[in-house]
A and B are shown apart, each in its own frame.
Chain A
Amino acid sequence: VGNLASMSTNGSLTFISFFSFALQSFRRFGNTLSEYFHLLWFWHRALKIIGANFGTSVLSYFIFLKWLLTFNIFSFLINFSFIIIPQFVAAEPNNLSFTGLELLTGAGYFQQTVLYYGFYTNATIHKIENGPSYNMQLAYIFTVGLYFVICFFTLLFSMAKSFCKNFMDLQTYSGNASKILCTWDFNISNEKAVKLKQKNLSTQIKVQNAGAAMLVLPIVASLLNAFIPFFYSWLGCLERYQTPGYHVYVTIIRNIILKISIVGILCYYWVNVVAESESQCWETLVGQDIYRLVLVDFIFCLLGSFFGEFLRRIIGTTFCVSLGLPEFDIGRNVLDLIYAQTLTWIGILFSPLLPGIQFISFSIVFYVKKVSLMMNCQPPRKVWKTAQMTTSFMFLLFFPSFVGVLSVIGVTVWRLKPSEECGPFRGLSSMYAAVSEWIKTLENHTASKWVVWIYHNLITSVLFFFILSVLAFGKNCLRHSHSSLKTKNYKDLESVVLLQIIGILLNTRQQAHEGNIDLNLLVNFVFRIPILAGSRTGLASHQVSTNC
């Protein structure tokens, strides 16, 4: 490995200088491109106003919402280009009449439109004689599949980055030093918000100096029955000023369990009852259910703003002045977003237009929440560990939410029988059969043997995906972690580390192929990555040119 490392060093240095030149040109190109997106200016202004008046913690909700918006617009764009437009070309006329009620129920006129799975043809579309044809079955399953793969890796990368920036190598002490020197929010430029924060800080310091422990949460009494285990495990590692934070955690956990139960029961119902029923087009029925759920959730979100913020402000300023202005409930709102996004992800397979609808609904929610925030809420008084909470929410988005969606979609695509009379997969034994049959036809052509090889050795290889995910997570984590070791020749270390990882990967693959897969080998591989990470420096990845 030593020789290999030195050989690779020279090669990697020239590679890296070329790479940094490429990076610089790419950055300039990206900047020029972004200037043409005037919309970005709208987000920038909105986020600036929110941050200036309410601080970074509340801002993190709106940034999370904006992030979810990009998932939806991307899904809408690829669905539109690859599934919806071809379907428009091959569409059958819609005989049903439109009454206004369909907007609420999603049934009726909408059943014969591109909104639902049932309308899509299973034919190969030929518009031009002897011209290229378009296989709708493959297009449908590959578009949805590709979208989920991209989502998976995007979430994985973001989680790795966020986790390693905010959790690794931290014994977060919220001691005085950190409070005084690291937590002043420079974003806030509203006079009242600044005064409020200053008052909070001086109160905290006074209370701390007076020795008050403040360990008893008023709300613990009512949650004691359900959450004794959680409470005791946290009591063990309580830090002095963080007690309001644990009240937030407990509430969030309760909400999460509630929402997981709801989605879980719904999915069970759809997969086991609706799919097995003899109805004409069960996928469209499921799609309609999800459409209604999304719509009702959107309405409840707006109502929640109305009651939770607007009415609460009226009560707090006129009838019961001791209550005061409400605070923006970041935890509950973010969980609502995650729930809505989970529903959308489940619904993509059954209703390709759903991400577009969700994009519009999220945009309206952004606007309504922003207006409600400005009109009704006061800046937060509680301490909210923004970076760590954002990481936790990202994990929540990945773990119960995205992984759950993948399992439901997996069961639907691999196990359930598509309905006989509608949709792009009619008549097949499962949706996945479209792909396996296509591979079988490819096997007969020698020119496409490489596609078949990729399919059998990589795509169906679970091991490959596991290793790829761990690699992606580890590599992205390396880029963003903060090791206090700084070595001058970190660029050499990076290439050595990469070579070692590739070597381990190839070795593992070889062993697995020979049937020698050893659990020890795998575990060894998995744990070597953090050790390799520890030897790498924490210098930031931004390349600054030398003539500055």
Chain B
Amino acid sequence: MGNKQTIFTDEQLDAYQDCTFFTRKEILRLHGRYHEMAPNVVPMDYTKDPDVKLPMQLIINMPELKENPFKERIVESFSEDGEGSLSFNDFVDMFSVLSEMAPRELKAIYAFKIYDFNTDNFICKSDLEQTLNKLTREELTAEEITLVCEKVIEEADMDGDGKLGFADFENMISKAPDFLSTFHIRI
């Protein structure tokens, strides 16, 4: 349709449109953002699917993520190797899940991953303590933190195993109507 871009083939752009919540123009814009983080490393020609990954240090310096207390966990949850380096596909995936059109169920899956610091598929007490520290900038004393974490587990733990599984987390999310609008980053 008159577009002169040579970054992606038409099939690639269509595939991106179908698998994410972005339009063609937004995907090209995302590529521009990805490229400007490391212009020497990221090629302008993606038609051959180059295997390029950007390290976490670069990604968490993006203005959208820089001040977010959970920036490292967000990037780790979307990186395939778990260490925080993102390929372009991971990058697009990340912003797609965080966009306003992603459904609640999808966001809940990734929110759970983000708050699960030790990646054991449960949000246990130590995960909650780390979350709370990040949320309050470590201004609370150790007793206050323990008290709040115990209250959280008491309120949300349905199956009584002392930690929050995905079902408990989802149940809690379904009672929070603001979750969809707050778990959202505009790119």
Contacts and interface: CB of A to CB of B under 8 A. Distances in A.
* Chain A CB within 10 A, most for which of B101, B148, B171: B148
A181 B115 contact: yes
A38 to B, nearest CB: 10
Contact of A540 (B103, B135, B171): B103
Contacts of A166: 177
B32 to A, nearest CB: 13
A257 to B, nearest CB: 27
B175 interface: yes
Interface in A33-63: 34-35, 44, 47-48, 51-52, 56, 60
A318 interface: no
A198 B137 contact: yes
Nearest to A172: B175
Interface stretch (A142-150, A182-190, A504-512): A182-190
A460 interface: no
Contacts of A482: 104, 174
For chain B, which range describes its interface: under 10, 10 to 19, 20 to 34, or 35 or more residues?
A: 35 or more
A182 B144 contact: no
A254 interface: no
B67 to A, nearest CB: 5
B64 A484 contact: no
B69 A205 contact: no
A321 B49 CA distance: 58
B7 interface: no
B135 A28 contact: no
Given A178-B172, A205-B136, A191 B182 contact: no
Given A35-B25, A181-B169, A195-B137, A544 B19 contact: yes
Contacts of B144: 205-206, 209
Contact of B186 (A47, A178, A201, A387): A47
B63 interface: yes
B139 interface: yes
B23 A56 contact: no
A175 B186 CA distance: 28
Nearest to A187: B184
A244 B104 CA distance: 28
B120 interface: no
B63 A177 contact: no
B180 interface: yes
B81 interface: no
Interface in B104-136: 104-106, 111, 115, 123, 128, 131-132, 135-136
A189 B128 contact: no
Interface in B129-174: 131-132, 135-137, 139-140, 144, 147-148, 151-152, 155-156, 169, 171-174
Contacts of A170: 174-175, 177
Enumerate the 6 nearest inter-chain pairs by beta-carbon distance, A residue then B residue, closest first: A540-B103, A548-B19, A387-B177, A182-B176, A166-B177, A31-B23
8 contacts: A31-B17, A35-B25, A175-B152, A180-B152, A182-B179, A209-B147, A544-B19, A545-B18
Given A175-B152, A176-B155, A209-B147, 18 more contacts: A28-B17, A35-B23, A47-B186, A56-B181, A60-B181, A165-B177, A173-B155, A175-B155, A176-B148, A181-B156, A181-B169, A183-B179, A184-B70, A482-B174, A542-B101, A545-B19, A548-B18, A548-B19
